[in-house]
Amino acid sequence: MVEHPSMSRKLFIALNYTGLLGLAILCILPLANVLAVSLSSSSAAAAGLVKLWPVDFTWKAYEFIIQKPEFVRSLGVTLQRVVLGVSLNMLLVLLVAYPLSKDPSALKGRTIYAWIFVFTMLFSGGLIPLYMTIKALGLLDSIWALVLHHALPVFNILILLNFFRGLPKELEEASQIDGAGHWTVLWRIYVPLSMPSLATLTLFSIVGQWNAWFDGIIFMNSPDNYPLQSYLYTVITAVDTLLAGSADLELLAEVSDRTAKSAQIFLGALPILLVYPFIQRFFMKGIVLGSVKE
């Protein structure tokens, strides 16, 4: 016999959906406004007529941004950073999480090693020692200054090692009986079974590398080496300087500082918006399965 949900249960579900829908709308509205401004004429944007729909629709702001060498150059730096940073993140997280997922009997001092990593989440040397280290290594103004100090995210290690601990030990024991070593167990058994968790951590890493802006300001002496978010920060905080030096009077009449900035902000967020739907189905499963165990 099928049990029908009670009235209180229906009310609870309705309130949940209403609350989540409201939060989703609050998240979408600012982005929709930025997109509408970027697709509107400069006069409409300056007059404050643009809300959630473009006024006097035009692509001129995007045409102007794509032609800017600074934007294209910073986008290239960020793409390079994402490729190198995400690859290094995932490799190191795998290599660290695998041994830490073993029982203390299999890895002596395993608990001590784990707490050392946790300690680094709570305390750090600070910005000045980090800058001095990067400078002493000769990494200033290089892509490695942006990648190496984020190379091993401890939070990702904790998620993955708990996921590994939840895998059946019989699989590893059976493979070891067949003569498989730790490398084979990791790459042939653990990694294929951990795709939901790895997809989640990959998303974390991509978002972190793509959105990072402060380290670009600190470690890059030349604006030519800024990643995209650092460049956008300098553009957004500047006052009416985006179009400075442009000799195209027609362009100045059609593109304003506000519409150009809005176009850059939307372009900066667009790749993450495109990547997330393909990984989202793994997201919740990876988080739940990688939750902390007692």
pLDDT on residue 44: 84
The mean pLDDT of 204-217, rounded to a whole number, is 89
pLDDT on residue 227: 92
pLDDT on residue 145: 92
Query: Is there a domain that residue 49 lies in?
Result: no
Query: Is there a domain that residue 140 lies in?
Result: yes
Tokens 């409201």 -> residue: 22
The mean pLDDT of 82-94, rounded to a whole number, is 94
pLDDT on residue 239: 47
Share of the chain above pLDDT 90, in %: 21
CATH for 82: 1.10.3720.10
Query: Is there a domain that residue 130 lies in?
Result: yes
Backbone angles phi, psi at 187, to 5 degrees: -85, -25
pLDDT on residue 254: 67
Q: Over the stretch 227-277, which tens digit does the pLDDT of each residue have?
A: 988 888 887 666 444 555 554 555 555 677 788 888 888 888 888 788 777
* Higher pLDDT, residue 280 or 131: 131
CA distance 115 to 259: 49
Look up the domain containing 64 and give its range.
60-289
CA distance 268 to 261: 10
Query: Is there a domain that residue 224 lies in?
Result: yes
pLDDT on residue 280: 67
Query: Is there a domain that residue 261 lies in?
Result: yes
The mean pLDDT of 141-156, rounded to a whole number, is 91
Share of the chain above pLDDT 70, in %: 87
Query: Is there a domain that residue 154 lies in?
Result: yes
Query: Is there a domain that residue 228 lies in?
Result: yes
Query: Is there a domain that residue 222 lies in?
Result: yes
The total of structural domains in the chain comes to: 1
| Mean confidence (pLDDT) of the chain | 83
Question: Of the spans 53-57, 75-79, 103-107, 171-175, which averages the highest pLDDT?
Answer: 75-79
